[in-house]
Every structure is written in C-alpha cells, then in structure tokens.
Chains A and B, each alone.
Chain A
Amino acid sequence: MHSPKPFHGFGLGLRPPHYQDFLARNVPVDFVEVISENFMVAGGRPLRIMDAVRERFPVAMHGVSMSVGSADGLREDYLVRLKTLADRVRPLWVSDHLCWTGVEGFNSHDLLPLPYTEEALEIVCANVLHAQDVLERPLLLENPSSYLVFADDVMSEWEFIAEMCRRTGCFLLLDVNNIYVSGTNHGFDPMTYLAGIPADRVRQIHLAGHSAGRDLLIDTHDHPVPAPVWNLYEAALGRVGPVATMIERDDNIPLLDELLAELDIARSRATAWRGAA
C-alpha cells in the first residue's frame, strides 16, 4: 500500500453554492476537498460535476459515514461504494473521522465520541486495517471535536491517535479547530496535544470556525476561522511542517471570494511561519 504523496497546497471544500464557480472560474486553489457521501450516488448531476472538477483540480475525498469506531464493524456496502468512487476520482487521499456514527444498524449521522480504552483502540485499528485493505490505500483520520469524556478512558486522545497510526500505518487529517474546541471543552492544553501526535503522519490540516454554546464550544463550521485557531495553526505548522491546508465551511456559507480571502490568510500565516523558521 502506497503512502499518499506529500502535497503542500491550499484548498477549499467543494460545496453546492460554489459548484458553478469552480466550473466556470479560474479559482485560485491548489486542491478541493469533497464530502465523499455526496458523490456516492448512482448518477446524474453530482457525478458529472465531480468529473468536471476533477479535470481541473486535485481532489481529496473526505467521508463522514465510515464509523471506524463501531464495535460491530464496518458496513461492507459502504466500503464498496467508497472504493468505486475513489477509483473514479483518483483522489489525493481518502479521509474520515476518528469516531463512531452508529451501532446495530442505527446511524446517527453524527460524529460520536469514543472512549480512549485499549478495547476501543483494538476495534478502531481492526476497522481501519480492514478499510485500508478494501480501499487499497491508506486512510487519513481526522480528530473530531467532542463534548464529553468517558470515565473508562485510560489514555489521552493524542496517545490513542499515536498508537492507532503506529498499529495501522494510517495517516492524519489534523483539524486545528477541533483541537481548540475539545481542548477548551475538556481542559487540556492544545500544545500538549500537538506535541503528542505523530507529526510525520499528518497529510492535511482543516481550519474552521466554531460557536460558543451555553456550556461548551460547538464545532459548527459556520464562522470564519477565529484568532486562537489561526495561532494554533501556526503552532501546528511548527510541529508538522507545511502540509495541505483547507478552510472548512459547512453552514452560513459565504460567497466564494470571501473564503478565498480567508484562504489567503492561511497562505500568509504559512509564509510567515516559514520566514520565522
């Protein structure tokens, strides 16, 4: 199984309000990220758009339904459909989340948290290895935001991630906003998190905004990237070096030019970091 080639560009998520922009304009991005499930369909316009976008840009496939943490295993029909799409798209890489979405046939369609136990680690690793076998490519897994901590935890999230990478050979999609959100919610230092992850496994970074709920920060992806997340991005660059970076916006989606301006901030932050380094 080949490792995904390092790719250092700046990209955006491809969202429906911007489809026409990406097809009609010369959009200054180095890659786009698509939500895999939106294109795991039989036919019609979505696949036609995917093919046209793929002709213009490298594409990263990002899924939300693999559920690598499900105790009762992965859905084979899902993996087969994902493999079919990946063979068509020939993506930079295929990613999903370190979470579970359902059990016993139920699917919450939410990214639910895992306990960081040895048993959960074994289950996640078995599922990741199986997915990588079916997909014939390594996975990137993203650290999720979370809103609770389980009593059974015997290790930190970063320790769990490091061991998962060691046992499966998978790579990481580091969501800097999620580190900030979970760190605030659970009281850990994001710098400790960054120091604990295996930096050489990170192939992509997500940047996004969040919202303040009544008791907790919520990973809503509906705001611009806030200052603390930009600062953490620079710290992440110091830890993992230059990797593909993307702005993720899923709600209150602004005009494309607004996101492109935000992506320019990421470019300038990366340039400033390189200068300082």
Chain B
Amino acid sequence: MPQLLKDGSIVDNSWQLVSADSETVPEGNVLLSVRHWQGSRQTLSNHVGEIGLWLDSHEEIEPLADEIVDIPVIAINFPKFVDGRGFSAARLLRERYGYRGELRAIGQIIRDQLFLMQRCGFNAFQFSSEIDLAEASKSLCDFTDAYQVAVDQPEPLFKRRR
C-alpha cells in the first residue's frame, strides 16, 4: 500500500482519489472531487467506506464551507509545486472555517515545502513520486520558530520575544 507522511509519521494511505471525470466511485475510503461531492454525495448513502473531499488549486472553499467541517479528510491538490494557492486554502479551512480533520497536500509537492505547508495547517503530505519519507520528514523541522501568525502558532513573534 502506498504511504504518506501524517503528523510526522509514515502511515499507509487508505484513501483513493476520485478524479473529476471518473464515471464511478469505487468502494472504500474515497476522496471525492468537488463535482462528485456536489452531484452524487446524496446517492452515496450506501457507500461502503468513508467519504472525503479533494480540491484542485483553483477551486474555492467558500461555497463548500458549511458542509465540510465534519469530514475526515480534505486533500488540496498542487498541480505544480510552485502553484501556491493551496497555502491560502489550507489557512482558510483551518482558521476561518474551523476544519479539524486531516488536511492533506497532494500533487507535485516537494519536501522543501513541508515546513511552510505545516505552518498553513497541512498535517499530511502525499508525494506524487516515491521518495524516502523518513528523509523528507526532516524538512518539517527546518526552522524552530517564525515571525508570523499561522495555524501552528497563533501569536506573532513580536508578542513572544523575551
């Protein structure tokens, strides 16, 4: 089974991603596209397995905000690693809409982004290529502190300097 980093540990990935153009939804734990989420969620009442959601980098959270607080996994796709929209999306989910479940970065992410992604509220990282996850997890600890307010640190450094 493919693996990912979650909360700093290497874990098995039990979730399947359902692409937006997929005709069917497989059994088991699935991450639905926004299209499936909006269109067929009601018809999935007999679905065997849990239901999560994935958002592409251009898709807005605001219209879905009321219905996603309780879902177990939300994944945000990075079609290119330099597409930074997912950083804002993650903060909005955590800070504005109170999302507490697993927030997973998927797509073309690179390990050198992990520290910043974690600050924005991601707690799971699923790489598109096979990499040494134990090595990659070191990048979560690139810095011991930061100036700004973020999900991991609700007080700015200027209020914490001693």
Q: Do A and B come from one complex?
A: no
